[in-house]
Amino acid sequence: MDSKSQISGKLSEICPNGRVSSGISGLDKMLNGGIPQGHIVVVMGDPGTGKTTLALQYIHDGLDKGESCIYISIEEEKDSLISTAASYGWELQEYIENNKLEFLKLDLSDIKTLARRIRVELPELIESSGASRIAIDSISLFNIMFDNSIESRIRLVELNKTVKNSGVTALYTSETSMKNLFHSKDGIIEYSADGILFLQQSEIASDIRLVLRIIKMRRTLHDRLYRPYDITENGIIVYPTEMVFVDEGTGV
């Protein structure tokens, strides 16, 4: 058996129904059972809407189920993320020590080393780790690491190819565009992603609510309505049957 079929055999044992839990039961309901295995899903949202929390929750859920996972952080330090996760009650240190969680921090200040790490280290890590889940926080920062938009597009295509070949189910966080609602800041990632989750802070009847919408999710039925969610001390909770009415004309 070649290594690719070995990986896909192992991954189908991990998720026999072909779905990977997002780590949030309400969101899994909206997704008709979870994220289709092998997808690249972008969590797009304004500052403070819980993108990093969702990425950590997704990774912690995999670790909790005995899976191997990778977290790639751009800019945010490992210790800071470990503390953020701990504030939700998710202890990551032991998983790092037991080699269940590979943590890679990419530093924007050292461009020369960075280029090598993205070209060599990152694909090696994804291919060799046998991980079933990966989070990249954030893909917007990944895209601004390169000199021009053509190079960032080439690198993104390479990254996606590596992710797809490895069979890992990926969650990328992304900042939203100020000009185009439902689009990312760089306007690239939404077209190559299999799924897009859109997180928003919305003013509803003079109250501020966090709302979530699934913009796209290939190869599955899914809910398309805005649903409210909360960021609690135990992480994100999505209310998959609650209705909210958002005025898209006002942007946020």
Q: Which of Mg ion, ligand ATP, none does 88 bind, CB closer than 5 to 8 A by kind?
A: ligand ATP
Binds ligand ATP (CB under 6 A): choice among 22, 37, 53, 174: 53
| Closest CB 54 distance from ligand ATP, rounded Å | 7
Q: Does 231 bind ligand ATP (CB under 6 A)?
A: yes
∠ CA(28), CA(177), CA(41), 5° rounding? 25
Q: Does 60 bind ligand ATP (CB under 6 A)?
A: no
Which window, 44-52, 128-136, 186-194, 241-249, contacts ligand ATP (CB under 6 A)? Answer: 44-52
- The first and second tokens of residue 98, run together, are 């037991």
Distance CA 201, CA 177 (A): 14
| Closest CB 124 distance from ligand ATP, rounded Å | 27
Distance CA 206, CA 147 (A): 43
Q: Does 83 bind ligand ATP (CB under 6 A)?
A: no
Q: Does 174 bind ligand ATP (CB under 6 A)?
A: no
CB nearer to Mg ion: pick between 7 and 74: 74
All residues at 6 or more sequence positions from 218 whose CB lies less than 8 Å from its CB, including other chains: 36, 39, 194, 195
Q: Could you tell me if residue 190 is left (phi over 0), alpha (psi between -120 and 50 degrees) or otherwise beta?
A: alpha
Q: Could you tell me if residue 33 is left (phi over 0), alpha (psi between -120 and 50 degrees) or otherwise beta?
A: left
Residue ranges binding ligand ATP (CB under 6 A)? 45, 47-53, 87-88, 231-233
